[in-house]
Amino acid sequence: MGCGTSSATKDKKSEKALKAALVIQNWYRGYSARLKTRQRYALTIFQSIEYADEQGQLQLSNFFSFMLENYTNVPEKEPGLVTRLFGSSIQDKDRQDYLGLIEIPDSYCGPRLQFPLTFTDIDLLIEAFKQQQILHAYYVLEVLFETKKVLQQMPNFTHTNTSPSKEITICGDLHGKLDDLFLIFYKNGLPSVTNPYVFNGDFVDRGKNSMEILMILFVSFLVYPNDLHLNRGNHEDFMMNMRYGFTKEILHKYKLHGKKILQILEEVYTWLPIGTIIDNEVLVIHGGISESTDLNLLHRIERNKMRSVLMPPIPMDGDRAEKKNKLGTATVALGIRTSGSFSEQLTKQEWEQVIDILWSDPRGKRGCYPNTNRGGGCYFGPDITSKILNKYQLKMLVRSHECKPEGYEICHDGKVITVFSASNYYEEGSNRGAYIRMSSGTTPRFFQYQITKATCFRPLYQRVNAIESSAIRMLKERMISRKTDLIRAFQLQDRNKSGKLSMGQWAFSMENVLGLNLPWRSLSSHLVTTDKDGNIDYMSGFQDVHIQKPVKEVQSLIETVYRYRSDLQIIFNIIDSDHSGLISMEEFRSMWKLFKSHYSVHIDDSQFDELAERMDLNKDGSIDFNEFLKAFYVVHKFDQLNKSDTKLI
């Protein structure tokens, strides 16, 4: 009897232990799911703001057309400006004009390349960059000239074949993340005849090591031109580089010869192929397709005429002509003849075809419709994918262009794969990177990774909190840049002048002004205070953040300069052709008036004139605009980065 009692007791204990384990398991699953949801919400904020910035960048194309029409005597005053913006090619320059006066001093301790390049140089370069050494400008220019020379011999789409014993590796966006490239090569091996690669665009911008990535890829390409394939992305574009960091990186690392590097790099970009076709079955392009994608036409176009996606073709007949461009807005452009520089540009149809290839994104909805988030390209559904693949006897589309939490994503019944190779793209721990290995007749294999440094020792909930906090900071900066517009929208809803709105009214106003397509109701607890009745104090969203400004001016002017500071910096950098950082007071005022007119900015000229006078600190008639724009930044009164209770749900 004693044995029976003991056995029953053990069974009860086992049952309790099992129930406890199930309770813990269910709790942990729910906890993990909540963390994942919070992380997904944070990524949604990052992505919405990123796409809104890209939309603003693409809208600059309309401004430059407007500028050419309205900037008084621009062809006579600034022929170089016109050619740079709208010319499709610049004359070949003698290599000696760039390299002749550059000497490599004996004190230089960085890598020394030997031309013609060999596998040894790839290894040498990688080891030097791991030691954070800088490649001398002489070698950078040599590599750029040699790369351009080889690229000029290549077709618009490179064709390559695989076999069961020779797989090919496809990498997506790297965006200056050098550690990710090192990890890929560590896990997957260096490029070689037996280990071919496709790098699918967006090598540069955002990250701090774009130059190092570009040099490794270009040197590898020169050693293995038939086994390393480089596709152009939407960031292989000198105008995009001005906004997203690569231009600044070059000028910082190469203070003496940065201008020369930028000039040649602009040409190299134009010669990058726009796609790769593997085994006549798999199309690899950076962005996507549209219902009108014509691969036959894309094979024939002169790709070097596409200097920038921001510069659409303009009419050549000298007449005013209204056109609806791929960015979805009507523009009026004036054809200007300047020594034949405009005779070498893509047609409007060709330009739109390339825009679709570089900027489009897949969606689950059928059909093809404008890519309203990015402002360029289109969204294409599974029916469009099937239509285009069937038309050209292809089986699969591999593209990049979008950050994915797991580094890759499969959609459209397995016919479209997105691969993104920059881990921690938005923030430490925000996403994994991935690459694909495939060969003829086999299923693609995916390899994921994530560079971990400080974050690897922190619990998951702390990493998610850090990502959330960063996302909320960005969102609040977006709000403060539109403070006047938001308050006006709130007050229109607040008919009783109570200072409060319902959740629905507040969410409607936020979306109507900011246009970020975010779940405002879920985010409200992190942006504003709510009373016991569920009403929102809409001014509370601005209490802990303000724009630091170098001068005391009216609030609307400060907000406008902050909101458009990236656009203004690009415009002024375009005018500043010698990269001195200075432009004349007259040019500054003229460009502002055009900008204000085109963007419908309601600021009195006298206010901006007074601001311009204050910017000319030494009263020499020139303005250091980069330093001025840098002085406008957002101050967060309560920094929540270290708060552990920040949650998006």
Whole-number Å distance between alpha carbons of 396 and 152? 28
**Residues facing residue 181 across a β-bridge:** none
Averaged over 366-394, what is the pLDDT? 93
Averaged over 117-128, what is the pLDDT? 97
Q: Is pLDDT at 321 greater than 50 in this prediction?
A: no
Whole-number Å distance between alpha carbons of 257 and 259? 6
Q: Is pLDDT at 540 greater than 80 in this prediction?
A: yes
549-562 confidence digits (pLDDT tens): 555 555 666 777 77
Residue type, 319: D
Q: Does residue 399 or residue 335 have the better pLDDT?
A: 399
215-264 confidence digits (pLDDT tens): 999 999 999 999 999 999 999 998 899 889 999 999 999 999 998 999 99
pLDDT value, residue 85: 56
8-25 confidence digits (pLDDT tens): 776 777 878 888 888 888
- Give percent of the chain above pLDDT 90: 54
Whole-number Å distance between alpha carbons of 270 and 88? 9
Instruction: Give the closest residue to 556 by CA, choosing from 593, 512, 611, 495.
Output: 611
Copy the structure tokens of residue 352: 């739109």
pLDDT value, residue 200: 98
608-630 confidence digits (pLDDT tens): 777 667 666 667 777 776 666 66
CB 137 within 8 A of CB 102: yes
Give me the residue label for tokens 């011999």: 153
Q: Does residue 175 or residue 90 have the better pLDDT?
A: 175
Averaged over 494-510, what is the pLDDT? 95
Whole-number Å distance between alpha carbons of 264 and 246? 14
Q: Is pLDDT at 531 greater than 90 in this prediction?
A: yes
Whole-number Å distance between alpha carbons of 557 and 630? 16
Main-chain dihedrals φ then ψ at residue 445, nearest 5 degrees = -110, 140
Q: Is pLDDT at 127 greater than 70 in this prediction?
A: yes
pLDDT value, residue 78: 52
- Give percent of the chain above pLDDT 70: 80
Annotated active-site positions, please? Answer: 235
Whole-number Å distance between alpha carbons of 460 and 367? 39
Averaged over 262-280, what is the pLDDT? 96
Give Rg (Cα) of the chain.
27
Copy the structure tokens of residue 438: 């495939």
The runs of H, that is alpha helices, within 224-272 are: 238-244, 246-253, 258-271
| 63-67, 291-295, 355-359, 459-463: least confident range | 63-67
Q: How confident is the model at residue 307 (pLDDT cuts 50, 70, 90)?
A: confident
Whole-number Å distance between alpha carbons of 238 and 87? 13
CB 235 within 8 A of CB 241: yes
pLDDT value, residue 387: 97
C-alpha dihedral (251, 307, 301, 331), degrees to nearest 10: 150
pLDDT value, residue 634: 61
329-372 confidence digits (pLDDT tens): 333 333 333 334 445 688 989 999 999 999 999 999 999 999 88
Whole-number Å distance between alpha carbons of 335 and 65? 10
pLDDT value, residue 336: 33
Averaged over 473-496, what is the pLDDT? 92
CB 437 within 8 A of CB 448: no
pLDDT value, residue 82: 55
pLDDT value, residue 624: 75
Q: Tell me how far CA of residue 586 lies from CA of 71, 555, 608, in angstroms.
A: 12, 25, 13
38-59 confidence digits (pLDDT tens): 888 898 999 999 988 887 777 7
Whole-number Å distance between alpha carbons of 345 and 314? 9
Whole-number Å distance between alpha carbons of 576 and 627? 14
| 3 state DSSP class of 102 | coil
Q: Is pLDDT at 584 greater than 70 in this prediction?
A: yes
pLDDT value, residue 229: 98
Q: How confident is the model at residue 538 (pLDDT cuts 50, 70, 90)?
A: very high
Copy the structure tokens of residue 213: 């990535």
Copy the structure tokens of residue 458: 């922190």
pLDDT value, residue 342: 47
- The sign one gets for the Cα dihedral 399, 401, 403, 407 is positive
Work out the mean pLDDT of the chain and round it to a whole number: 84
H-run or E-run covering 423: none
Averaged over 575-582, what is the pLDDT? 69
Averaged over 590-619, what is the pLDDT? 73
Q: Is pLDDT at 317 greater than 60 in this prediction?
A: no
User: Quick one: three-class SS letters along 280-300?
Assistant: CCEEECCCCCCCCCCHHHHHH
